Structure 1
Amino acid sequence: MAAKLGSLHYVLDHIYGAFMHRTKMTPQFFSRGWGGKQLEMLERMFDQLFPEAAGQNWPPILVRPTWKTVWESKGACLREGVFRTPCDEQLLSALPPESHSARVAFLVPKSVPPQKMACVVHLAGTGDHSFERRLRLGGPLLKENIATMVLESPFYGKRRPMLQRGAKLLCVSDLLLLGKATIEEARSLLHWLDSEEGFGKMGVCGLSMGGVHAAMVGSLHPTPVATLPFLSPHSATVAFCEGILQHATAWEALRKDLAVMTLEEVRERMRNVLSLTDVTRFPIPKNPNAVIFVSATDDGYIPKHSVLELKKAWPGSEVRWVTGGHVSSFLLHNDEFRKAIKDGLDRLQWKESPL
């Protein structure tokens, strides 16, 4: 019975993927090609994130969002903030103008000093254009004195370029640009939560693509943070060269842009580019015991071997398996994601012991 149920979850992922990515109802990823010189610049930037440069460029630019209160109750407050992305001028010039201003939502318990609270930065998965889903994930954690900060990704939501439809990025370079800018913004937000707000513990989490970015941010942070990648591969190569998203990729447009004859040459170039997103090449986080991967047993997007590569690369980390596929786990296992957030934070020392 369990095997049949697992097969059903796997098949549901492929049915959903076929509907979303193999019909003419939606565009394909990278329909405008590789991105030319912009891709070459981003490849150099990502090389600088790897172990030999991991301790450099800290602290990041300190962001100070401009806030407005969305609502508040006796026990909690939700604010939304805007800040200029802290990316350097080279990266800023590569970003579309719509992505120059970043937006965050900040859900915080009231009447609790920050030193007695934890805060987790939630990063967006593919297609997550709004704050709502991640706020619903973080909301029940208020009773545990865990605040939720939700970052709107570049290229998503109000930061989406005018010509982009949905989550289908126009160029391969956009994928690296989205990732690099998200990493810089998340690091700056963690720095703000620590140095300006004084939170006692911090973490970073994300689902799918957001989990890859969360792993990178947690890896590069100079002090221990809870690092919580959910339903995440070890590299974007898995999603676009092995998983369902390969059927959503404009391979013919990429072949023409690369001026090569065979599809295999295009795929090899894609594998080389996306190897820059391989989390196993990043440093082991400062407290690997506070790294918890939550993965699905029958994920049609993320194969098990990819998850196990993460576990092997970061000794001391933990993998938790939930029964389901990528889509069903995304919908049904929020309680398991919340438990991982709480457990990861519990494995950290308080920055300052609560009174």
Structure 2
Amino acid sequence: MVEVKLGMLHYVLDHVYGAFMHRTKISPLFFSRGWGGTKLELLERMIKQLFPEVGRSRIGLPTIVKPIWKTVWETKNACLREGVFRTPCDDQLLSALPPESHNVRVAFLTPKFVPPQKMACVVHLAGTGDHTFERRLRLGGPLLKENIATMVLESPFYGQRRPRLQFGAKLLCVSDLLLLGRATIEEARSLLYWLDSEEGFGKMGVCGLSMGKTHIESRARGGVHAAMVGSLHPTPVATLPFLSPHSAVVAFCEGILKHATAWEALREDLAAQKAAMTLEEVRERMRNVLSLTDVTRFPIPKNPNAVILVAATDDGYIPKHSVLELQKAWPGSEVRWVTGGHVSSFLLHNGEFRRAIIDGLNRLEWKEPPS
């Protein structure tokens, strides 16, 4: 009975926070400028190329990137560097990205005096609203003693890559969400390829924790994108989605974030192109578009045993059925449940997230060093 009451408290906390953030008009709504017009149609076609039914050969190998590094600080045991490189997106994606997002920033935290062949590295992707490196570096810092380095990617549309007209985390168009995801996939795959081919790391992983530094609105994105990257990468990597659904449909059409979406603006945008639609028809259109983010449609990762999902028992943003759908689609993957809601799990269970990172990497074979 006590556990039931605590679970309800966690669930209510998510809803109270969500109502405060999204119904009091403290900040603008997502997609206040509509669908994105022809840009959305382009991205729909490009994302469909990632699905197995249209042939994985169209995905191609990641592009090699060459970051320019500077040292931020170093101690006798660790070093933090920041790097900059041009996004590896092709010309079509590059023309769709805002100019502010063309250059990529990464932070790279490594233990000193450990050869890369004896070291693992995990690329940490951002949740919506995570505009800085700080939180993800705090998550990865204690892993240094396990000889696990942390690479933190600054997402398009966030941090120094945020478009001038965008307020905070609230993307202006639905097309921005798909564009952000497609660019993040290419950038993360390129960083993993760089860690492997240029630096020679013995093991690699990708994780996404679906909470930003200060905003509960940062629900699903980091985990969904981590699952996509792990699915599409050409070699086995540990794939670690934390507090994540199987699709953005769950976040925007079922969970609390449906109250943070500009449904009326989306309806007006559609009405300017075709006959007027009801709000329910607009929501159905959103479900169809965001079905492109359904990770269960993506290929099974090369080593599904190295996929560990960490989910919360009483998450008001991510329902249990969504987590279990991804586990079912990827046989061999593992789900670990932490007691709490979306907010409380982010605050209280960093130790469980780190343990999942360690265990996922331990399920990979060490790469053979070059002869």
Question: Under a length normalisation based on structure 1, what TM-score does the superposition of the two structures give?
Answer: 0.98
- Number of residue pairs aligned between Structure 1 and Structure 2: 355
- Retained in 2: the 8 A contact 1:236–1:277? yes
User: In the alignment, does 2:4 pair up with 1:3?
Assistant: yes
Q: Where do residues 5-44 of structure 1 align in structure 2 (5 Å cutoff)?
A: 5-44=6-45
Q: Where do residues 207-226 of structure 1 align in structure 2 (5 Å cutoff)?
A: 207-208=209-210, 209-226=221-238
Inter-partner Cα distance in structure 2 for 1:56 and 1:318: 29
- 1:181 alignment partner in structure 2: 183
- Runs (4+) of structure 1 exceeding 2 A deviation are 52-59
User: In the alignment, does 2:266 pair up with 1:254?
Assistant: yes
CA RMSD, Structure 1 to Structure 2 (Å): 1.2
- Retained in 1: the 8 A contact 2:50–2:59? no
Code of the aligned partner of 2:64: L
Identity %: 85
Question: Under a length normalisation based on structure 2, what TM-score does the superposition of the two structures give?
Answer: 0.94
Query: Once structures 1 and 2 are overlaid, which stretch shifts more, 13-22 or 25-34?
Result: 13-22
Inter-partner Cα distance in structure 1 for 2:257 and 2:169: 12
- 1:272 alignment partner in structure 2: 288
Quote the offset at 1:222 in angstroms: 1.2
Inter-partner Cα distance in structure 1 for 2:329 and 2:59: 24
Quote the offset at 1:57 in angstroms: 3.7
- Retained in 2: the 8 A contact 1:55–1:222? no
1:138-162 Cα distance to aligned partner (Å, 9 max, x none): 0000000000000000000000001
- 2:163 alignment partner in structure 1: 161
User: In the alignment, does 2:246 pair up with 1:230?
Assistant: no
User: In the alignment, does 2:243 pair up with 1:242?
Assistant: no
1:111-138 Cα distance to aligned partner (Å, 9 max, x none): 0000000000000011111000000000
- 1:338 alignment partner in structure 2: 354
- Retained in 2: the 8 A contact 1:65–1:83? yes
- 1:48 alignment partner in structure 2: 49
The unaligned stretches of length 5 or more in structure 2 are 211-220
Inter-partner Cα distance in structure 2 for 1:186 and 1:79: 17
Query: Once structures 1 and 2 are overlaid, which stretch shifts more, 324-333 or 226-235?
Result: 324-333
Q: What secondary structure does 2:151 align onto? A: strand
- Retained in 2: the 8 A contact 1:120–1:148? yes
Inter-partner Cα distance in structure 2 for 1:58 and 1:118: 24
Q: What secondary structure does 2:184 align onto? A: helix
Code of the aligned partner of 2:153: L
Code of the aligned partner of 1:24: K
- 1:66 alignment partner in structure 2: 68
Q: Where do residues 287-306 of structure 1 align in structure 2 (5 Å cutoff)?
A: 287-306=303-322
Quote the offset at 1:331 in angstroms: 1.2
Inter-partner Cα distance in structure 1 for 2:55 and 2:229: 14
Quote the offset at 1:18 in angstroms: 1.2
- 2:300 alignment partner in structure 1: 284
The unaligned stretches of length 5 or more in structure 1 are none
Code of the aligned partner of 1:46: I
Inter-partner Cα distance in structure 1 for 2:131 and 2:340: 24
